[in-house]
Amino acid sequence: MLAGLAGVLLPVLAHLLSRKRYDTVDWGAMQFLELDPSARRNLRLEDLLLLLVRMLLIALLAIALARPWFNGSWLGRWASTTSRDVVIIIDGSYSMGWEGPLGTPQAAAVRLARQFVNDLRSGDTVMLLDAREQPRMALTGPTRDRVRIRQALDDLPAPGGTANLHEAITKAVQILATGTNVQRELFVLTDYQALSWQPDDDTLWARLDDLKAQSTVPPRIWVMDAAGGELGKASNFTIERLQVSRELAVPGVPIRFSSKVRYRGGDAAIARSVIVEVNGQRLADQTLRLNLAPDGEASVEFERQFHEPGSHLISVILDSDVLPGDNRSDAVIVVAESLPVVLVDGDKKLDPTRSETFFARAALAATGDDVSWIKPSVVTPDALNADTLRNAAVIVLANVAALTEQQQALLERSVASGRGLLFTLGDKTPKNGFALDPDSPFALLFPVRLDEIASDSEADSVGIRVAGSSLELPWLRQFRADKGGTLTDARFPQWWKVKEVRPVPATKSELLEEENTKPSKTPEVTVGTPLVIAKLSNGAPWIVTRRYERGMTAVLTSTIDADWNTLPAKTDFVPWLHEMLFSLASTSTNRNVDVGSPLVLNIPPELKIDQYEFVGPGNRRFPADRIPDELQPGAILTGVNLPGIYRFARKESDGKPAVDDEHFVVNFDRGESDLTILTEAQRTALSGEDRLVFASDLSELQQQMFADSSRTELWWLLIYGFLAMMSVEAWMTRRMLRGATDPVKSGSGAVAQ
């Protein structure tokens, strides 16, 4: 297009050609019309200027059509014509709720993001990412709607949980890889807390470098401190995750819940109050007063009985401080009227005292006027069918020799729908396990491979016993000898040796896909890792558990009668068996979960799911989906990435909690309470290889972002110049025409006289 500059010669050619259109002839009165020398010079000067203006008009137009541009200039911030795809990441961890002198970092981040969006061009697209333990899209896009962007910023949830900034940045880079604009930017607003960055994991950040290198248009990543360098400049009190002795109970059973209070920072001892709330009501008799030294901690423990069936929300709360996100810890207890258990006796005798389930049934039966916590029923393996398992919460297979294919399928569906399954082994247990097909889904319920029946060969009086050091789970810890328990006194003359604990297999859905079977709609994580939760004194596994779909399965490598051990003779046998069964049944409640886990609730088949919803933190509402399970229908909420308290409730306009609401608690990592910020060396390492750019303020960031490599086109400035020169040319032409008809200005005064 610059070839058009040759057009500047057109006015010159027109001027030269116009001079050949006439001949000069002197005549007698010519002396009276001649201009004086000064007027002649002015006329020639104006004529030359007009010629230059017309040449400049053509030059401006030709250059404008060529669309010249430049990189880097102070003008780039305002004059850049390059459209951008932008992802704004706002740290959503609870450290962003730190209450500094100028407000919270999250509030500052929202203000900076709004200002940043206001300075973008109209053609720039924006997406908003809320960085949590699992990043969530707060604004899907890309969008150019500034009103929608500002609304999404205002609707961000309150800070909570932890943030994985590496994962959030990785997700943003993947999103930008699908962009359409030639410039792509990623703007991170955080508080510089070191924990969220994982700065020492070089491998982690190297993967991000590889991802950027694979992008057709690598995005630039900008980072800014929304806390203004003030994070952590005050002491902070933290209460750790609440531990409960059991999540499923019956009326009148005492529940113990405990936690730790930590004091970080400060230089003097401070007293803090710890209060307890149940279902939002404060318990005045449970308030504690703690005196904590700097960097000290103290354990707190409470006990309470619940008499009303349903879910109960327990909260332990500290006095407020500068970081409110770690001042409370919550847990949900589900109270059932009783726990129905089916005992499948694999060696039932005419003499009931010699049956496999005699001691178990005796331990579970109520005595006197006591209310039965567990309602046991005993069946033979032949009677194991859908009718006998219809209301069962836990199924116990006591030394069962074999199961039919139909029974295996029934048990697999039962555990998948939320029931517990306990295998207690004995002399009739098949060495190769119960599954007829080792690759069938039922095979996953049995988490060990058996070797042989072992005998106690020790001649001394100690023998093989339960290893007290292995009893680490909260419900098992109470049976340790140092807690006054007698479980470790029981001797085990015989047990099944375990060849191996079966490794983590594919999830059930993957397993079914391998079998060309369409998986049913179930929670995403279906099969858990086998856990040895108790061992014998020789190191052999005693109790092995595995999470399976919505239920739990466990293997006891010995019997629950008196054939292979002396456990029934110990005083802890009754409470241990109760706790074992309650722990297996508690998975069906599953009310205390981690971020990312689904919320699952067993519901009656007749319940109309469209009349209910899940209500989360900040009164956010989520639709409930139905799990189409014929044995135990359920309601489910997946993709849970906001920590806090959730309710399953009827859809109501006011959203107020009701008495019959079912509660859930989504827990998070309390490590976020460590407010240590990135050091200068860590920031330098993170920004190496042009990976990140840390900016001290928004003006500096915008100067670099919009000027350093922004393409600024000048055609629009040249068009403005062209229009201005057109006005000048019109004014000069009009002025010269008026001068030519004015006898005084033209210098022909004699003629006028």
* Interacting residues of 686 by C-beta distance below 8 A, sequence separation 6+: 197, 199, 205, 678, 692, 694
- 510 — pLDDT class (breaks 50, 70, 90): very low
Q: Which residue has the tokens 């500290």?
A: 318
Q: What are 281's two structure tokens?
A: 């009501």
For 290-307, the pLDDT digits (tens) are 999 988 999 999 999 999
Alpha helices, DSSP H only, in 80-219?
Answer: 105-118, 146-154, 165-176, 202-214
> Is-contact 509 555, C-beta < 8 A?
no
Place of tokens 């969530």: 136
pLDDT at 517: 40
Q: Model pTM?
A: 0.74
- What is the mean predicted confidence (pLDDT) over 376-389? 92
The angle subtended at Cα 190 by Cα 187 and Cα 191, nearest 5°, is 150
Region of poorest pLDDT, from 500-504, 523-527, 646-650: 523-527
The SS3 call for residue 556 is strand
| Nearest in space to 628 (alpha carbons), one of 519, 539, 498, 544 | 519
Q: Residue 296 is encoded by which pair of tokens? A: 């000290």
Statement: residue 712 has pLDDT above 90: no
Structure tokens, 25: 């002839």
Structure tokens at 408: 């295996």
pLDDT band at 368 (very low <50, low <70, confident <90, very high): low
What order do you get walking across the sheet with 541-548 strand by strand?
Answer: 374-379, 339-345, 394-398, 420-424, 551-556, 541-548, 531-535
Q: Which pLDDT belongs to residue 48?
A: 82
Is 110 or 40 the better-scoring residue by pLDDT? 110
Rounded to whole angstroms, how far apart are CA atoms 674 and 238? 10
pLDDT at 504: 57
Torsion, Cα 177 178 180 184, to 10 degrees, reads -30
In whole angstroms, what is the distance from residue 669 CA to residue 594 CA?
9
- Confidence grade of residue 513 (pLDDT, cut at 50, 70, 90): very low
- Cβ count near 616 (within 10 Å): 21
* CA distance linking residue 176 with residue 208, whole number of Å: 13
Mean pLDDT of the 579-608 span: 88
pLDDT digits (tens, 9 = 90+) for 115-140: 999 988 888 899 999 999 999 999 87
CA 169 vs. chain centroid, Å, equals 13
Residue pair 281/224 in contact by the 8 Å Cβ criterion = no
**Cα gap 733→60, rounded to integer Å:** 19
